[in-house]
Each structure stands twice: as C-alpha cells, then as structure tokens.
Amino acid sequence: MSAKISFDKYCGTGNDFIVLDNRTNSFDPKDSKLWQRLCDRRFGVGADGVLFFNTSEEYDFEMVYLNADGGEVGMCGNGARALTSFAKKIQFDKVEFTFKTRDGIYSSEVLKSGDIKLEMSRLDEVGAIDVSDIIPNENSFYMNTGVPHAVYFVNSVSEVPLEEWGSKVRYDERFTEGCNANFVQVIADGKLKVRTYERGVEGETLACGTGAVACAFAYRKLHKSVDVIDIEVPGGELQIIFENEKVYLCGKALKIFSGVFEL
C-alpha cells in the first residue's frame, strides 16, 4: 500500500465518513488497524467509519463499510447516501444508482434539491426479538434495517443516560454481533427526536440512517396512517417516506474536504 492515502471526507447529517476511491483495489478493508487509526479523532482524520467505493460488474458500484473500530458492517444508511453523492461526482451524468453491499442490493437517487433518496431494501419484521427487559419499557421494538436496532420510546431523549443504556443494549448476550440502541421522543404527529448509540463506534453518533428507519417503523406500529416522518437527530434532519409499499431514507450528504494522510 502507498505511504500516502488520498481520501474525501463526507458528512451525512452529522454522520461523518472517510471515503476511499478503491476502483483499483489499492486499499485492503481487512487492514483494521489502519482504518482504526484514520478514524481516530485525535491521531487520525476522524470519522464514524470508512467507505470503500469499489467497482461492480453488475451494478454501478459496490459499497464496503467499516465502523470506526475497523469491523465491517453489512449496511449504513447515511454512508450509502454519502457514497451516492461521491458516485455522482464520478459519474456526473447519472442521478440514479443501484449498488451492492454485504447486506444486499440497494437503489439511490440524487434529487434536484441535492438530497439523497435511498430505498431501504432490508426491512425485517418489527418485534423479532423482545428487548423490553433490557431497558424496562413497554414501548420498545426491535428490527433489522440492514443492521440490528432496538428502539425505545421515552418522554425526553435529553434525559436518557445514553452511554449507560446504549452499552447495555449493545452488549446484551442475545445479540451475537451487538445491537444499536435508539431512543425516541415524539415531538408532534409525524415528527420524532432521536438519539442513537452505535456499535462499532461505541458511543453516540450525530445521526444513524438505518436507526432512523427503525424508529420510523416502530412509530408506524403505533400510528399506521403516517406516511412521512420527519426525524430530528443531533446532526440535523432526516425524512423517512413510506410510498407504494417501499421505504425511503432522505437527507443531505455533503463533501466536507479532500486530503492526503501520510503513513
């Protein structure tokens, strides 16, 4: 590997990523120590994870995603939106993309507003696992939206001891690969406020796309007539749209800067 790594830094509603153009297979996703180093916010670039833009024979590209701990994850909603924005800069004549992830095949679109609209293709049934006893809560749900999520409705997300409760869910023995924890406050009809503890980051992130989708699904279990749900996260706003039996995650994904990291 080269002694210098050229990268782009992207942000999806506060969820930040190191994006690597890996069409020539220059980077090895299995070099976890290197990616941990780059994601370190004091001694590296600083990010919630690393996105690899790989070629694909069947699709527009392949997405490989690593969390900040260097572990590969099947899907990341905000990461997929960030990589769609990156793909748009490479294939500037396209606005619609289909791409491969470890979790499956996804589709995305760059809207005229600049927002990225991502179709969520992995949506397991809500309630596959009972999580009400981890954090005692009657309004609690579990589902997999590409990665596993537990959702808890609370009166105020600002009063949640996120590190304590989040790690309790994340390391519960029933989850062999860990589980993300989301805490939801209903602000108004169709409007939620969410905080998320993410595995692999081992703490709170400013946004979690797959988590926002899980929260929207949980909310729909209580209010089935709502088709558009606005979600306020610490990093901004996301929108979940239920349309013709499909589910979309929408929001901004912006390039912050480009750089070179010297090993």
Domain extent listing, the chain: 4-121+251-262, 140-246
- Model confidence band, residue 138 (pLDDT cutoffs 50, 70, 90): confident
Tokens of 29: 């996703």
> Percent of the chain having pLDDT more than 90?
88
- Model confidence band, residue 125 (pLDDT cutoffs 50, 70, 90): low
* pLDDT tens readout for residues 156-195: 999 999 999 999 999 999 999 999 999 999 999 999 999 9
User: In Å, how far are 2, 192, 228 from 83, measured between CA atoms?
Assistant: 23, 26, 24
The answer on pLDDT for 90 being more than 60 is yes
- Model confidence band, residue 1 (pLDDT cutoffs 50, 70, 90): low
Contact (Cβ atoms closer than 8 angstroms) between residue 209 and residue 249: yes
Tokens of 39: 């994601």
Residue 146: name the closest of 249, 29, 252 by CA. Answer: 249
Residues 6+ apart with CB under 8 A from 161: none
What is the residue-averaged pLDDT of the chain?
A: 94
Examine the residue annotation and report whether 179 is marked as an active-site residue of this protein: no
Q: How far apart are CA 33 and CA 24, in angstroms?
A: 21
The answer on pLDDT for 224 being more than 80 is no
Contact (Cβ atoms closer than 8 angstroms) between residue 240 and residue 212: yes
| Domain pair 4-121+251-262 / 140-246, same fold | yes
Q: How far apart are CA 40 and CA 57, in angstroms?
A: 33
Q: How far apart are CA 63 and CA 20, in angstroms?
A: 10
Tokens 């990461």 identify what position? 79
Residue 246: name the closest of 106, 131, 142 by CA. Answer: 106
Residue among 76, 179, 215, 250 flagged as catalytic: 76
For the ranges 100-114, 118-132, 239-253, the lowest mean pLDDT is seen at 118-132
* pLDDT tens readout for residues 12-58: 999 999 999 999 999 999 999 999 999 999 999 999 999 999 999 99
Q: Which CATH code is given to the segment(s) 140-246?
A: 3.10.310.10
- Single-letter code of the amino acid located at 109: E
The answer on pLDDT for 62 being more than 70 is yes
The answer on pLDDT for 134 being more than 90 is yes
Q: How far apart are CA 156 and CA 105, in angstroms?
A: 36
Residues 6+ apart with CB under 8 A from 168: 134, 135, 181
The answer on pLDDT for 2 being more than 80 is no
Residue 107, pLDDT score: 97
One CATH from 3.30.70.100, 3.10.310.10, 3.30.1300.10, 3.40.50.10420 for 4-121+251-262: 3.10.310.10
For the ranges 65-79, 127-141, 155-169, the lowest mean pLDDT is seen at 127-141
Residue 252, pLDDT score: 95
Tokens of 100: 């491969």
Residue among 39, 179, 208, 215 flagged as catalytic: 208
Q: What is the pTM of this model?
A: 0.92
User: In Å, how far are 35, 44, 106 from 59, measured between CA atoms?
Assistant: 26, 32, 10
Exposure of 194 in the CB half-sphere (CA atoms within 13 A): 39
Distance between first and last Cα of the chain: 10
Examine the residue annotation and report whether 76 is marked as an active-site residue of this protein: yes
Residue 6, pLDDT score: 96
> Averaged over 241-259, what is the pLDDT?
95
Residue 63, pLDDT score: 98
Q: How far apart are CA 8 and CA 26, in angstroms?
A: 15
Residue 263, pLDDT score: 84
Residues 6+ apart with CB under 8 A from 203: 163, 166, 197
Residue 222, pLDDT score: 83
Residue 144, pLDDT score: 92
